[in-house]
Chains A and B, each alone.
Chain A
Amino acid sequence: MTQSAENAVQLALHGVTKSFNGGAGQVTALEGIDLNVRQGEFVCLVGPSGCGKSTLLSLIAGLEQADAGSMLLDGEPVRTPGRDRMVMFQQDALFPWLNVLDNVLFGLRLKSNLTEVECLEVARYYLDLVGLADRERARPHELSGGMRQRVALARCLAPNPRVLLMDEPFSSLDALTRDQLYGDIQRIFTQRRKTIVLVTHNIREAVCLGDRVVLLSPNPGRVRQVFDINLPRPRRINDPALANLAAEVTAALATHLATSESVV
Chain B
Amino acid sequence: MSPRRVIAPLLALTVALGLWELLVAHYAPGSPFLPTPSDIGRWIWSALLDGSLISATLVTLKRLGAGFLIGAAIGIPLGALCARVRVVRDTLGMLALGLQTLPSVCWVPLAILWFGQEESAILFVTVMGTVWSVVLAVQESVLAVPPLYVRAAQTMGSRGFHLWSHVVLPAALPGVLSGMKQGWAFAWRSLMAAEIFVVILSGYGLGSMLHDGRELLRMEQVVGVMGMVMLVGLLADLAIFGPAERWLRRSRGLSA
Residues of A bordering B, CB below 8 Å? 61-63, 81-83, 85-87, 89, 91, 93, 95-97, 106-107, 110-111, 139-142, 155, 159
Determine if A61 and B252 form an interchain contact, defined as CB atoms under 8 angstroms apart: no
Contacts A86-B156, A110-B156, A159-B156 given; does A97 touch B151 at CB 8 Å: no
0/1 interface trace, chain B 144-163, chain A, CB 8 Å (1 if under): 00001101111111100010
Interface centre among A63, A91, A97 (most CB of B within 10 A): A97
Tell me whether chain A's interface is mostly helix, strand or loop, or mixed. loop
Contacts A139-B253, A141-B253 given; does A95 touch B167 at CB 8 Å: yes
Determine if A87 and B173 form an interchain contact, defined as CB atoms under 8 angstroms apart: no
Q: Which of B156, B158, B171 contacts A97 (CB 8 A)?
A: B171
Q: Chain B residues with Cβ under 8 A from A106's Cβ?
A: 153, 156, 158, 166
Contacts A93-B151, A97-B170 given; does A107 touch B253 at CB 8 Å: no
Residues of B bordering A, CB below 8 Å? 148-149, 151-158, 162, 166-167, 170-171, 173, 251-253
Interchain CA distance A140-B171 in the complex, whole Å: 14
Q: How far is the CB of B166 from chain A (nearest CB, A)?
A: 8
Determine if B171 and A81 form an interchain contact, defined as CB atoms under 8 angstroms apart: no
Contacts A81-B155, A83-B155, A107-B157 given; does A93 touch B251 at CB 8 Å: no
Determine if B157 and A93 form an interchain contact, defined as CB atoms under 8 angstroms apart: no
Chain B residue, CB-CB nearest to A85: B155
Q: Chain A residues with Cβ under 8 A from B155's Cβ?
A: 61-63, 81-83, 85-87
Chain A residue, CB-CB nearest to B162: A110
Chain A residue, CB-CB nearest to B154: A81
Q: Chain A residues with Cβ under 8 A from B253's Cβ?
A: 96, 139-142
25 cross-chain CB contacts under 8 A: A63-B154, A81-B151, A81-B155, A82-B155, A83-B157, A86-B155, A87-B152, A89-B148, A89-B151, A89-B152, A93-B149, A93-B151, A93-B152, A95-B167, A95-B171, A96-B252, A96-B253, A97-B173, A97-B252, A139-B251, A139-B253, A140-B253, A142-B253, A159-B156, A159-B157
